[in-house]
Structure 1
Amino acid sequence: MNTPGIIILAAGLGARFTRAGGLGNKLLAPQQNQQPLLALTLQQAQNSGLPLLVVTRPEYHAILDLAQQRHIPAITVASNGSGESIAAAVRHTRNWQGWLIQPGDMAWVTAEDHRCVAEALAAGAQQVRLCWDQQPGHPVGFATGYGQALSELTGDNGARALLDPGILQTIRAHAGVIRDADLPEPINRS
């Protein structure tokens, strides 16, 4: 495979969501047309045409079912944080030519956003991050040279420690690249 792929992180516990009054798994919270939040995220990622992998917890059967319904490969990990989820996904996808890391609760990231990061990696960038109003966003892209370091991540800081401001290519995007669903509210794409 000669293209980077997208890792969809769906193994979080959603503690901020439940503390704010949300019920159940935030990735399954109904949104527009009663679709689960994660379904909207997966739809945008699939529309990019890039390879996908969902990483979730073994007990998140509904997320595994959703991935299967959409014909998206999924792996499970009893993760103690996003670092462990990323590491497991990278070990599973060593044949990819880079990785785009995308939290499952960011349904406002578009297929074009994914393609933009993938194209920057294909053009030789080592690290790519979308941003809006000088705020860092997602997805974050890493070239193949980061495979070993990504596969060794632990904890809940994700790949943040690997980012190097000296080589990180930032691309201006829209507000959707920084928006997540930590608070229980329906998506409004207007």
Structure 2
Amino acid sequence: MTASNHPIVGILLLAAGKGTRFTAAGGEGNKLLALYPNSNGDQVPLLAFSLSQAVASGLPVRLVTRPDEMEIIAMAEQFGAAVTLVASSGSGETIAAGVCDSANWAGWLIAPADMGWLRSDDYVQVAAALSSDEAQARMMFDDMPGHPVGFGKGYGAALSQLTGDHGARQLLDDTKLVKLAGHSGVVKDADLPAQ
């Protein structure tokens, strides 16, 4: 069976926010383009970290961003990620747009695109935990909820109707949620400029 006719779990990277906390803290421009040192000490855009790890998972990747973010769109395309464009008013709307554009997936792994410290195996672990259409899973670190957060195919309709800025939190069910032990990167984001 080929990948094209076998449903697969995919990754939604959320990049349609306005980065207001980042700019309020003194950051300039789009935080996803802010430079951070990689393992070689080279300065690399934050989004490049996120995209490289997501793509390295081997799962399909879809980045959801705003229509006017030309540099973000171009970088996603460089990494071979699909792109959904939405003038979003919150993470719920961003997720809904991405899910609508990937309705053929067998489940969704959701992560903010500013979490450049997620690793490819984090995505793979959460995807593997989605053992049924009604499954949900997420990475954790020291009892703190992290990303990615995974939802099986059965949540597609609910995810595609999200609105506002609460993301998919209201869909999480402690009786179904598989919590996976992760590293500090599963809770680290870039709301503040690099020190």
Q: Following the alignment from structure 1 to structure 2, what is the Cα–Cα distance between the partners of residues 37 and 6?
A: 17
The aligned amino acid for 1:170 is: K
Query: For residue 69 of structure 1, what is the aligned residue in structure 2?
Result: 78
Query: For residue 65 of structure 2, what is the aligned residue in structure 1?
Result: 56
State which of 146, 167, 176 in structure 2 corresponds to 1:158.
167
Q: Following the alignment from structure 2 to structure 1, what is the Cα–Cα distance between the partners of residues 190 and 179?
A: 23
Q: Could you list the runs of 5+ residues in structure 1 that have no partner in the other structure?
A: none
State which of 17, 20, 26 in structure 2 corresponds to 1:15.
20
Over residues 45-95 of structure 1, what are the superposed CA-to-partner deviations in whole Å (9 max), with x where a residue is unaligned? Answer: 001000010000011111001011112110100000010010011011010
Does 1:31 find its partner at 2:33? no
Over residues 155-177 of structure 1, what are the superposed CA-to-partner deviations in whole Å (9 max), with x where a residue is unaligned? Answer: 01100010111111111111110
Contact 2:136 2:151 in 1 (8 A): yes
Q: Following the alignment from structure 1 to structure 2, what is the Cα–Cα distance between the partners of residues 111 and 158?
A: 22
The aligned amino acid for 1:23 is: E
Does 1:98 find its partner at 2:103? no
Does 1:118 find its partner at 2:127? yes
Contact 2:132 2:152 in 1 (8 A): no
The aligned amino acid for 2:105 is: W
* Structure richer in strand, relative to its length: 2
Query: For residue 147 of structure 2, what is the aligned residue in structure 1?
Result: 138
* Two-structure CA RMSD over aligned residues (Å): 1.2
The aligned amino acid for 1:145 is: G
Q: What TM-score, normalized to structure 1? A: 0.95
**Deviation for aligned residue 1:124:** 6.7
Aligned structure 1 segments of 4 or more residues deviating by more than 2 angstroms:
122-125
Q: Following the alignment from structure 1 to structure 2, what is the Cα–Cα distance between the partners of residues 165 and 122?
A: 16
Q: What TM-score, normalized to structure 2? A: 0.92
Q: Following the alignment from structure 1 to structure 2, what is the Cα–Cα distance between the partners of residues 53 and 88?
A: 11
Q: Match of 1:101, SS?
A: strand
Q: Following the alignment from structure 2 to structure 1, what is the Cα–Cα distance between the partners of residues 181 and 47?
A: 24
The aligned amino acid for 2:69 is: Y
Contact 2:133 2:153 in 1 (8 A): no
The aligned amino acid for 1:68 is: E
The aligned length equals: 186
Q: Could you list the runs of 5+ residues in structure 2 that have no partner in the other structure?
A: 1-5
Q: Following the alignment from structure 2 to structure 1, what is the Cα–Cα distance between the partners of residues 52 and 179?
A: 24
Contact 1:3 1:122 in 2 (8 A): no
- Identity in percent: 53
Q: Following the alignment from structure 2 to structure 1, what is the Cα–Cα distance between the partners of residues 60 and 133?
A: 19
Q: Following the alignment from structure 2 to structure 1, what is the Cα–Cα distance between the partners of residues 81 and 149?
A: 20
Q: Following the alignment from structure 2 to structure 1, what is the Cα–Cα distance between the partners of residues 175 and 46?
A: 35
